[in-house]
Every structure is written in structure tokens, then in C-alpha cells.
Chain A
Amino acid sequence: MKYLIHIFILSSLLYSQKIFDSFEQERISRYRYMEQYTFEQVLDDGSYTLIVNNFNGDMVIRGHLGSSLSANIKTTIKVLTEQGAKEMINLHQVIVRHDNDKKVVQIDGPEDLSGRISYNLDLQIPIMTNLTMHSLGGDVAIEHAQGEIEIKTGGGDMDLNHINGKGFFETAGGDIEFENGKGRFSIISKGGDISIENIEGKFSAETAGGDVELSSIIGNAVVSTRGGSIGVISFDGQYLLASTSGGDIHIRDINGNVDISTSGGDIEIQNLTGNAIASTLGGDVGLDEIHGNVDCSTKGGAIHGKDIFGAIKAVNQAGNISIEKKYDTQLKDHSLDLTTYVGDIYTSIPEHFPANVTIIHNGENATSSINADFYLNEKNKQGKIIATTKIREGIYPFKITIYHSGDIKIRED
């Protein structure tokens, strides 16, 4: 008898507290079964973990202040008879458990999936609840959550809003939207777009195919896509690493160092305070208002730089380079190193810019190809033209190289 009492107490703790269920026919051949579970003991102190396993369907999770967790499960059954629907429910039940000792609420989806039954899960949780949710498939929406959060779905979109803490979000296929968060996050889509807005902290975002958009980010970010464009607006942090296996990268209003690369696509950087490394295997590079040093390259395209206040190194295998250099005494390095194999180079530098100029031109008609606003000492060495001069103190190295063909024009503004 003693053992029976123990078993009864244990099972009452381990198993669910279903407070409500309903069964009704929605229309011909369609039935709806609703279950609601409530666990008042779940505290809002970060001690509890909600675990969802093997669930197949959409999930909505909303955090609230204060204790109590409730789960609403809606099951839709497509069969001809009520009897059939009830049998289906029994065969494919979602199991809800509560373990007060381990501080866990666990929801397990049915082992066997039927084409006639579908589920939706709606959870109201204390904000400070840890989440470990693995769904076989379906969309996931989370609003207001804090703690250690791991969400994986076998396919579906994710909509995340107001999440603080440490988060890992992964969908096997679908778009991810994440707005308003603080903490460390890892965001992965095996295929789909990722949009991240208003995040403070450190995060990585990766998609196997799709576009990545970031805006209003404070912190550090590593983003990559195997095929898609990357756009960043308003970033303030130590570093931003962005790479795509194919697609354009556009970033603007950036305060921090950036390292961006694309295997094929254009790069555009606007209003950067920081250093930039930018490379494309095929596409144009556009730079506008850069307060820092730039190292950029393209294997085919044009490089246009406007209002470059720091040093610049630009390498172009086939295409033109045009750089408008500005002078900002706050910055130490003002060197220019511009190289192209085939293409013209146009540069404008501030008047009396103290440069140590070296121009190397290997191509045909090299002498007539060089046009500068200042006098150059030209020497012909084995068909290679080397032109040099010093402007004022000649403090900053200023080197232009053309390996094959192209014209050079240098203006003093």
C-alpha cells in the first residue's frame, strides 16, 4: 500500500495537469480537439526548462511576467467519422509532462505521423524560462523570452522578437526574422532569408542560400550565405565579417572594422568609420566616405572610391580604378597603392598632399599613358616606365602600377 501511494504521488508530479479539453466537429470530415495544460508552479526565475521534442506543427511561444506556464494544443483530424477522429487522437497523442524536481515541463509529439492529423502548439511561459525545442517541422514564433534558448525546426520559418540571453536558432529550411534582442546568438537557416534588426551583443548568422539583412546592430557579427546578397544598415561594433558565395554586399553607416567578401557580386560600402577589407572574385567595388583604411580587390569589375579619408590599397585584375582621396589629419595612414592589370586608373588627391609618388607602367605606349598635374621624373627600364616624384615632404607612399595596359590620370584638387 505504501508503495502504491508513492507511485501515485510520483505520477501526479511527473504527469500533466490537464485542466481543459474539448472535442468538436469543425465541418464535414474535419474534427478539432483542444487540450489545455497549466502549471502554476513554473516560476519566473530562470530555473525552469521547457523541452519540446518531436513536435510536428506550428509553435507559438509568448513570454509573460510572473509564474505559470500554460500549453494549448490544437489537433485537427481529417476523417469521416467522430469515432475515427477519437481513435486517431488516441493513437497520435501529444504527451505533456511536468517534473517539479527537475524543473522541467516536457512536451513530446507522437512517434508516428499521420497525414490525417495536424497540430498547433501555443505556449504562454514565464519570460525567464529556458527553452529546448526540437520540432520536426513547422513555423516557430517566439515573443519575449529570456534565458538559454535552443530552437530547431526541421523546416519552417522562425519569427523571433524580444529575446535576451543565449540563443541557438536553426531551421532546416525557411526564413528567419529576429527583432530586438540582447545577448549571444547563433542563427542558422539551411536555406532561406535571414533578417536581423535591433540586436545588441554578439551573433553569427548563416544561411545555405538566401539573403541576409542586418539593421541597427550594436556588437559584433559574423554573417555568411552560400548564395544571396548581404545588406547591413547601421552597425556599431568591433567587427563585422560578411561573406557570400555569390551575391552583392551593401553596407552603410558602419562604425567598426569590416571584412567582406563575395565569390561573385558587387560590393558597396557607404559611410564607414573603421577599416575595411573587401574582395570580390567578380564585380564592382564602390566606396563612399570611408574614415579608415581600405584594402579592396576585384578580379573583374571597377573600383570606385569617393571621399576616401584614410589609406587605400586597391587591386583590380581587369577594370578601371578611380579614387578621390581626401585628407583627414585624425588618421595616420594616407598611403595609396593602386594596381590594375588591364584598365585605367584615375586619382584625385588634395592639393599639396605630401606624397611620395611612384608610378610603374609595363604596357605599350606607357609614356603617353601617364597624365599628372605635377611633374614626374620618368625613366625607361627595359620597356618599363618608372615615374617618380615627391610632393612637399613626400610623407605618404603613393604607388600606381599598371601591368599590361591602361591610362593613368592624377589630379590635384
Chain B
Amino acid sequence: MTFSQKEKAALSVLKVLDSHDMSKFEDDLPHDTDLQKWVLEYESTLKNIDSSLSADVSQKQLQSQRMSLRNKINSELNIKTSDTRLIQPFTSMRQTVWLMLSLIIIAFFFGKSFHKLEATSTSKSVDIIQLMNQGLLANIDIKLNGDESNPIQLALQSTNEIEYSGNLKDELIQNMLFYLLLNDHNTGKRLKAVKLLEHIQLQENGRNVLIASMLTDPNPGVRLKSAKMLQSYVADKLLIDACVKTILEDDNFAVRLSAMDILESHPVPDMIPALQVIRIVDENPLIKSRAKSMLVEFEDLNNGKIEPKI
């Protein structure tokens, strides 16, 4: 498919094509299966965006979303009934607007990571994880204690006070930081958690936590830090979708720009439909212009006229 075909298809889906071009496009469409497929994908992208933009945030709907999500996760991960409590602390987060995507990411990750940890962790870590599962942890305090081997000290409160020290390679420390980043009401602690995580290259689960944080954290500073950190990760479909969502929905321009930086630093053809949407619907001329530039790069690349950069 040529760029011009894609452009016309996008414009026809957005219903901004003039009548002459529209009738020509409609004549061509039944004879071109690639074009039909592309139009369907594009419509689906737009539909997702529309539905998220117009999401009603009534408590009833949120509750039903949470329930459906839990059911989905339970079935996907085959978590035993007793383990469903793992998800609960994370699905009762403080957000006012719940984004389906971020919920899936958060819950999927935590379901997965705690499931794994349960089998391998030490008795001390099991205690803490159990407390987390039961939502009994409160006032988690992060301290940097100056100890070179175990610089991070977490002081936790439940029925007893618990202290745990370790470094960033420590899986439990990482998980506690993820917990703080996604769950703590105190913005300062969430910021501290994300700043500590900046010092290591996280595995997929950690990256997913950052994505969730970029999408859902109520504080722009935390979202911005998460978005900046995500620039060092390869952009797969999940990250691209998250970036597109951020670009189209986040009210903080810096966060949106950082999401654009992620797309720019890892250009993959999957993001073309998204860029076409951004090029047309984004309100900011800079972001529009950057989306246009990226599309130009893709166009040239497809024609083989310039050196591949991907």
C-alpha cells in the first residue's frame, strides 16, 4: 500500500475526504484486500481512542470494569481462588479515572510477579508479600542508609514494624518499589520510588509498572519521570499503545512530549496508524509536526529512498 492510499483511507475513516475522492475510494475499496484490512485496523484504533475519551466514570461502571478485569485475569493466569487477593490492593488504587489498559497492565504484572515470587521467595519475603496481598501494609518508608551493599531501607508498618534493607537488584526491594509507585497515596513516596528505579534497567514486569504509572498516576511529575524512563526500553505494541493514549489524553504537555520521544526513538511500522491519528487530532502543533516528520521517515523508508534507520 502506498502512503497516499493510507492517507486517503485515514481521511475517509475520519469522514473528512471530499465527496469526489470519497466515491473514488469507495469504488477502490472492495477490490483491495490490504486496504480493507488497513481500514478495519484504523477504525478499530479510532474506536478504542473514542471509547476511552468518552468513558463514563461512574462508580457503577468502574466497579463493573474492576470485576470484569479480575475475572479476566483469574481466567488468564489460572490463579487459585485464594490468590485473587493478590490483585485486590492494586485494583483499589486511588485513581479517579480508570483506564482499562493500565488496569490490565498493573493487574497482569502483579498477578504474574507475585505468583512467581510466592514459589521462590524466602520466608521473610513471603511475610511481606502476604501483608501486601492482604492490604495490611501502611506507611512504607524509604530510606537511603548509606550502606553500599544494601543502600535502600524500607520501613513498613502492619501490626508490627518491619524493616528490610537491600539493593536495587533485590527482587523484593524492586517489588516493594513497584508497590509504592502504583499504590502509595503519598506523592513524595511515589516519586522517590520512581527515582530509585531509574538506576536500573528493569525487566518486562518493571517496565509494565512504569507504563501503568505513566498512564494513571494523578501527579504529572510522577507520570513525567515514568515516561522519561520508558525512553530506554524497546517499544513493543503495548508501549506504543500506551504512548498513543498518553499523547492523546494526558493533560500535561511534557508527559505527552516524552511519550512522543519514545515513539521517535523506536520507530516501528506498527505505530503508523497511531501517528496518522496524532497528526490529525492532536491539538499541539509541535506534536503534530513531529508525527508528520515520523510519517515522512516511514514513507521514505518504504520507498527505499533513504538509508533504513530502524
Do the beta carbons of A210 and B254 come within 8 Å of each other? Answer: yes
Which of B219, B292, B294, B296 has the most chain A CB atoms inside 10 A of its CB?
B219
> CA A246 – CA B143 in complex, angstroms?
16
Asked if A115 meets B255 with Cβ closer than 8 Å, knowing A226-B221, A264-B189, the reply is no
Least Cβ–Cβ distance between B105 and chain A, in angstroms: 21
Do the beta carbons of A300 and B139 come within 8 Å of each other? Answer: yes
Do the beta carbons of A115 and B292 come within 8 Å of each other? Answer: yes
Do the beta carbons of B306 and A115 come within 8 Å of each other? Answer: no
Chain A contacts with B in 161-205, Cβ cutoff 8 A: 172-174, 189-192
- Say whether A118 faces chain B, with CB atoms less than 8 Å apart: yes
Chain B contacts with A in 265-299, Cβ cutoff 8 A: 279, 284-289, 291-296
- Say whether B187 faces chain A, with CB atoms less than 8 Å apart: yes
Q: Chain A contacts of B287 at CB under 8 A? A: 155
> CA A172 – CA B187 in complex, angstroms?
22
Contact with B along A283-325 (1 / 0, CB 8 A): 1000000000000000011000000000000000000000000
Chain A contacts with B in 129-144, Cβ cutoff 8 A: 136-138
Q: Which residue of B lies closest to A190 (CB)?
A: B253
Do the beta carbons of B254 and A209 come within 8 Å of each other? Answer: yes
Do the beta carbons of B191 and A173 come within 8 Å of each other? Answer: no
How many inter-chain residue pairs (CB < 8 Å) link A and B? Answer: 149
Q: Chain B contacts of A262 at CB under 8 A? A: 188
- From A136, A226, A283, B286 is in contact (CB under 8 Å) with A136
Do the beta carbons of B284 and A29 come within 8 Å of each other? Answer: no
Do the beta carbons of A192 and B254 come within 8 Å of each other? Answer: yes
- Say whether A228 faces chain B, with CB atoms less than 8 Å apart: yes
Asked if A247 meets B191 with Cβ closer than 8 Å, knowing A56-B285, A154-B284, A191-B220, the reply is yes
> CA A247 – CA B190 in complex, angstroms?
9
Contact with A along B251-270 (1 / 0, CB 8 A): 01111111000000000000
Asked if A265 meets B252 with Cβ closer than 8 Å, knowing A115-B294, A137-B285, A155-B286, the reply is no
Asked if A283 meets B186 with Cβ closer than 8 Å, knowing A28-B306, A227-B221, A245-B219, the reply is yes
At the interface, is chain B mostly helix, strand, loop or mixed?
A: helix
Chain A contacts with B in 227-282, Cβ cutoff 8 A: 227-229, 244-248, 262-266, 280-282
Least Cβ–Cβ distance between B6 and chain A, in angstroms: 14
Do the beta carbons of A172 and B253 come within 8 Å of each other? Answer: yes
Q: Chain A contacts of B293 at CB under 8 A? A: 115-116, 118
- Say whether A80 faces chain B, with CB atoms less than 8 Å apart: yes
Q: Chain A contacts of B306 at CB under 8 A? A: 28-30
- Say whether A78 faces chain B, with CB atoms less than 8 Å apart: yes
- Say whether B300 faces chain A, with CB atoms less than 8 Å apart: yes
Least Cβ–Cβ distance between A25 and chain B, in angstroms: 13
- From B188, B291, B295, A263 is in contact (CB under 8 Å) with B188
Q: Chain A contacts of B191 at CB under 8 A? A: 227-229, 246-247, 265
Q: Chain B contacts of A138 at CB under 8 A? A: 286
> CA A155 – CA B139 in complex, angstroms?
37
Q: Chain B contacts of A228 at CB under 8 A? A: 191, 221
Which of B253, B256, B258, B306 has the most chain A CB atoms inside 10 A of its CB?
B253
Do the beta carbons of B296 and A115 come within 8 Å of each other? Answer: yes
> CA A114 – CA B306 in complex, angstroms?
18
Q: Chain A contacts of B188 at CB under 8 A? A: 244, 246-248, 262-266, 280, 282-283
> CA A114 – CA B290 in complex, angstroms?
9
> CA A226 – CA B224 in complex, angstroms?
11
- From A209, A282, A283, A300, B220 is in contact (CB under 8 Å) with A209
Do the beta carbons of B186 and A264 come within 8 Å of each other? Answer: yes
Least Cβ–Cβ distance between B45 and chain A, in angstroms: 20
Contact with A along B183-213 (1 / 0, CB 8 A): 0011111111000000000000000000000
Asked if A192 meets B224 with Cβ closer than 8 Å, knowing A246-B191, A248-B192, the reply is yes
- Say whether B305 faces chain A, with CB atoms less than 8 Å apart: yes
Q: Chain A contacts of B256 at CB under 8 A? A: 173
Do the beta carbons of A191 and B219 come within 8 Å of each other? Answer: no
Asked if A246 meets B222 with Cβ closer than 8 Å, knowing A78-B296, A173-B252, A264-B186, the reply is yes
- Say whether A223 faces chain B, with CB atoms less than 8 Å apart: no
Q: Chain B contacts of A65 at CB under 8 A? A: none
> CA A305 – CA B257 in complex, angstroms?
42
Do the beta carbons of A80 and B254 come within 8 Å of each other? Answer: no
Q: Chain B contacts of A244 at CB under 8 A? A: 188
Q: Chain B contacts of A226 at CB under 8 A? A: 219-221
Q: Which residue of B lies closest to A56 (CB)?
A: B289
Q: Chain A contacts of B70 at CB under 8 A? A: none
- Say whether A208 faces chain B, with CB atoms less than 8 Å apart: yes
Q: A78-B300, A209-B221 are in contact. List 4 more A-B contacts (CB 8 A).
A: A155-B284, A209-B223, A226-B220, A229-B191
Q: Which 8 A-B pairs have the closest CB atoms?
A: A246-B187, A227-B221, A191-B254, A115-B292, A265-B188, A137-B286, A173-B254, A209-B220
Can you give 13 A-B contacts (C-beta < 8 A)?
A: A29-B306, A56-B285, A191-B254, A191-B255, A191-B257, A192-B224, A225-B221, A227-B187, A248-B188, A248-B192, A265-B191, A283-B188, A300-B139
Which of B's residues lie within 8 Å of A, judged by CB? 139, 141, 185-192, 219-224, 252-258, 279, 284-289, 291-296, 300, 305-306
